[in-house]
Amino acid sequence: MQHCSECLPITVVGDLHGQLADLRKIIDRCGDPVKNTYVFLGDYVDRGTQGLELAILLFSYQVRYPDRVFLLRGNHEDINTTSTYGFYDECMMKYGRYGEWVYLMVINAFNHLPLAALIGGRVLCMHGGLSPHIQTLEDIERPGWSLSCRGISFSFDETVVEQFCQKHGIDLIVRAHQITGEMIRGGHRMFAGGRLVTIFSAPNYQNMMNDSCVLRIKKNFVVNFLIFRPVARRRQLTLPRRQSMQSYLVRC
C-alpha cells in the first residue's frame, strides 16, 4: 500500500498501454511532475507500440520525483501477460539479442510495484478493483521478490462497494483496467452512487476512437475529470502475438 497524504492536488491516470504520445499530452495538460503529483494505476505496456519507452519514462519520473510520482501495478505488469500481449515482442524487436534481458529487467521492476495507493485516508486507488480476501487495508501488501502468476478475478456489486467504503472509511475508490461501451464517450464510468469510478486514459485504444480521461483530486477533495478526445492514427506498427522465441519480423 502506498500512502499519499500531503500530495494534493493529485492527477490519477488509468491504463496507457504503450501510448507514449498520449502520456505526454496528459503531462502537458496537467503539469510537469516537478510541481505536480501523479498516481498511475498500471497497465503501462502491451498492445501499444511504445510500452518500453513509456515504462522507462515513468520509472525515470519516479526516481527523480519520488514524492510526486506513484506507480501502481496492473494486471499487465506481469510476466505471463506481457509474454502474450506484445511487450515481450516489443523488447525483442527493439533490442534484438539483448531484448530478453531488457524485458526481464523491466519485469523485475514491475514485480516491486505496490498494488494500491491511499490518498489522504479517503481515496483508494487500485488497478482492478475489490477482492473478498481484503479484510483490512493492510492486507494489500507490497509485492516481495517472487514472481506472481495472474490470479482469478472477482465481480462485485454496489452493495460490496458500499460496505467496503463504510468499513474502511473510504469516500471514493478509483480503478482502471477496462473500457466499456458507455465509456467510449467521456472515458469514465461512475458506479455505486459515485463511490467507485473507473477511468481509462488511452484514447483511440485499438482504433476504437474512444475518449480517455484522467481524474483530478483537489486540496479540498473535490474531484473532476479531464477528458481527452481521440485522434485517428495514420500509421501504427502492429505487434504480433508471441509466436517464437527465435524469429521476429517487423512489417511496416
Catalytic residue among 17, 76, 177, 188: 76
Helices (H), the chain: 20-30, 51-64, 79-82, 87-95, 99-110, 158-168
> Is the confidence at residue 189, as pLDDT, over 60?
yes
Look at residues 210, 171, 160 and name the one whose alpha carbon lies nearest to residue 189.
210
Residue 127 a catalytic site member: no
> Is the confidence at residue 247, as pLDDT, over 70?
no
CATH class name, domain 8-228:
alpha beta
Q: Is 98 helix (H, G, I), strand (E, B) or coil?
A: helix
Distance between CA atoms of residues 189 and 213, nearest Å: 10
- Compute the average pLDDT of residues 93-112: 97
Distance between CA atoms of residues 75 and 199, nearest Å: 15
Distance between CA atoms of residues 219 and 180, nearest Å: 30
Distance between CA atoms of residues 128 and 148, nearest Å: 16
Q: How confident is the model at residue 164 (pLDDT cuts 50, 70, 90)?
A: confident
Q: Is 234 helix (H, G, I), strand (E, B) or coil?
A: coil
- Compute the average pLDDT of residues 51-58: 98
What's the chain's average pLDDT?
A: 84
Predicted confidence at residue 152, as pLDDT, reads: 45
Q: In this structure, is the dihedral angle defined by the CA atoms of residues 93, 57, 227 and 13, taken in order, positive or negative?
A: positive
Distance between CA atoms of residues 241 and 233, nearest Å: 21
Tell me, what amino acid is at 232?
A
Concatenate the DSSP letters of all residues of 109-166 into one string: HHTTS-SEEEETTTEEEESS---TT-SSGGGSPPP-SS-----------HHHHHHHHH
Look at residues 105, 112, 162, 110 and name the one whose alpha carbon lies nearest to residue 141.
112
Under 8 Å between Cβ of 94 and 61: no
> Is the confidence at residue 141, as pLDDT, over 90?
no
Burial of 105 (0-12, 13-18, 19+ CB in 10 A): exposed
- Compute the average pLDDT of residues 41-59: 97
Calculate the alpha carbon distances from 155 to 129, 134, 193 in Å: 9, 14, 17
Distance between CA atoms of residues 44 and 113, nearest Å: 12
Model confidence, pTM: 0.83
Q: How confident is the model at residue 211 (pLDDT cuts 50, 70, 90)?
A: very high
Domain-wise residue ranges, the chain: 8-228
Please name the residue that has the C-alpha cell 502506498. 2
